[in-house]
Amino acid sequence: MQGRTGVLLCLVAVALASLWTYEPRLHHDFPSMVDDWSAIKKAPDQLHDVLRLGNPEENRYRPGFVMWNALQWHTFGAPTDFLGPKLWGIARWAVLVTGLTLLALLLVGRPTRLRDGRWLLAIGVPLVAITAPSIAIDIARYGPQEPLLVGCMSLGAVLLVRAIDRLLDRTRPSPLLLLTLGTGLVIWAFGVLQKETSLCVLLLAPFLWPTIRDQQARWAPLDSRRRHTLQAVAAAVLLPFAPILARTAQLTLSGDRVYEGASAGKSFATRLSDQLSIADDRLHTTVPMIVGIAAIVLLAAVLLRTGIDWLSIGLLATALGFIVFAAHAGVVESRYYIPPITLAALALARCAVRLGPAVVLVAGVLMIGAGLMTTRSAHDWVWYWVRIEAAGETIIRDAQARAVGGCPISVVGANVELVEALPVLMPLADEPPRDCAPGERFVVVIDRGQPGTPTPPDNPILAACAPQAKPDLTVDVADFFRCSR
């Protein structure tokens, strides 16, 4: 009973701290001009391609992400009603928090006494992994795939390990055991299929062999039926990687990269250096970098004092794999750090356990303290993001009010994504018509948020409009001009 109480307390503690950073998201209920508009517009057609085992994107392969977009933006009345996205967003957050907390407990060994310091590690690992300010924004946003990738793979792995452990104990298969096994496989596969970077988890496989080898005594007495069941489970765990691996290899051989423009002219060494040197700036905190360094230091201490811990080495090697994969893409984004930070925190916690209760206590307290320190600033950063989103919504609503009032609305700008997003989201703004004088028309100029030359006055759309010198409305992302002719 104490063990179950401890698990529940860990989940509640992590959930409350993380919910504080997520809470501002609940005060904004309109789709974003970044990513959300694309899911609204494209997900139904893309889902049809995925269900036919096709690939709807030329230079990406992320069928799980397509399925999630279809659920998030086309169920429970969405996109016209925002209740569905809110519910799915909370579910995604809950899967991430639950998966990380339970995986931490699995790797440090779930204690049976409430006074055991390992409970602190189970709270500290998810806190340092998901409370960095920029990562909190990524979790609040509906577009990033990493929260589902990490959350589903973590939760799926925990369910699978628990079910396999019961099978090795020769427990009679019960409906609950079979449900746990099936649910674990589905959740695991859904996480793998979120995006191509899930392939990095395969780097962990050889480091798991010592752990598997230690279980050989439990394999020997199994009957052939149970052996075949476990072999089928192992195959099912690896199966989702097959299409990801095939498609990624195809894209690599073709030389196509998603962010070709961002990485042009940079060597791989420079791109890799950027991933490490710019991390603090992108995340708005030094905590993740400190966690990574501490994990390496504790691993060295483990090697000197107790011998090789293959699993901890594998966790750090896999973390490096994610960083290398991001370097190949050539851009530095905060969401790309969610997997490596999680893996480094898990390695740190596992090494602390190997070094004894005193180190466990110190590591647990410091991780929780660091996580709570970043939680407050993360809350403020998420509010800042919400205000930017609200500014974009203002432009959308104003443009829609003019459009339903009969005024022609044109859109132009250097920020190609936002220019394309505006007409998709305008119909979702249920605005009363605003009076439109005969011949009156407007142009929305969206240059901000995109590096490069602003839209020149001789642009055909601007030239035909001859916008007045002072915009009718200015927000963080755009200007709304009345045309003078």
Q: Quick check: 312 pLDDT over 70?
A: yes
pLDDT in tens, 13-29: 999 999 999 999 999 99
Per-residue confidence (pLDDT) for residue 230, from 0 to 100: 87
Q: Give tens-digit pLDDT for 120-174.
A: 999 999 999 999 999 999 999 999 999 999 999 999 999 999 999 888 886 677 8
Assessment of whether the complete model's pTM goes beyond 0.85: yes
56 or 37, greater pLDDT? 37
Which DSSP string do the residues of 8-47 spell out, in sequence order?
HHHHHHHHHHHHHHHGGGGG--S--TTTHHHHHHHHHHHH
The DSSP output letter for 483 is: B
Three-state SS letters, 426-456: HHHCCCCCCCCCCCCCEEEECCCCCCCCCCC
pLDDT band at 1 (very low <50, low <70, confident <90, very high): very low
What's the mean pLDDT in 359-384? 95
DSSP E strands, 166-234: none
Instruction: Report whether pLDDT(46) > 80.
Output: yes
Q: Is the pLDDT of residue 406 over 60?
A: yes
Average pLDDT over residues 445-467: 83
Strands 473-474 and 442-445, by their bridges, are unpaired
Taking the CA of residue 358 as centre, how many other CA atoms within 13 Å lie in the half-sphere pointing to its CB? 0
Mean pLDDT, the chain, whole residue set: 90
The reported pLDDT for the residue numbered 223 is 81
Phi, psi angles (nearest 5°) of residue 248: -65, -40
- Please list, in sequence order, all residues whose beta carbon lies within 8 angstroms of the beta carbon of residue 86, skipping any fewer than 6 positions away: 26, 29
What tokens does 81 get?
Answer: 């009603």
Mean pLDDT for the stretch of residues 66-86:
93
- Predicted pLDDT of residue 455: 86
What torsion do the CA atoms of 422, 87, 69, 44 make, to the nearest 10 degrees? Answer: -80
Are the beta carbons of 31 and 40 closer than 8 angstroms? Answer: yes
CB 353 within 8 A of CB 360: yes
Closest CA to 234 of 286, 198, 188, 267: 188
Task: Report the percent of the chain where pLDDT is more than 90.
Answer: 69
What residue spans of 193-286 are helical by DSSP H? 209-213, 216-219, 224-238, 241-254, 260-263, 268-277, 279-283
The helix/strand/coil state of 21 is: helix
Burial class of 199 by CB neighbour count within 10 A (0 to 12, 13 to 18, 19+): middle
Give the pLDDT band of residue 218 (cuts 50, 70, 90). confident
pLDDT value at residue 136? 96
pLDDT given at position 255? 61
Q: How confident is the model over 199-209, as a mean pLDDT? A: 94
Contacts 24+ apart (CB under 8 A), 467-473: 467/443, 471/445, 472/398, 472/442, 473/394, 473/395, 473/398
Which helix (H) or strand (E) covers residue 204, if one does?
none
Tokens at 313, concatenated:
């080495």
**Confidence category of residue 176, pLDDT binned at 50, 70, 90:** confident
Confidence band, pLDDT 50/70/90 cuts, at residue 259: low
Extract the tokens encoding 41.
């517009």
Banded model confidence at residue 330, pLDDT cuts 50, 70, 90: confident
β-strand 409-412 against 442-445: which pairing, if any?
parallel
How far is 340 from 350, CA to CA, in rounded Å? 15
Lowest mean pLDDT among 201-210, 324-333, 379-388: 324-333
- Domain residue spans in the chain? 2-385, 405-482
- Whether the pLDDT of residue 261 is over 60: the answer is no
Q: Is the peptide bond before 423 cis (omega within 30 degrees of 0)?
A: no
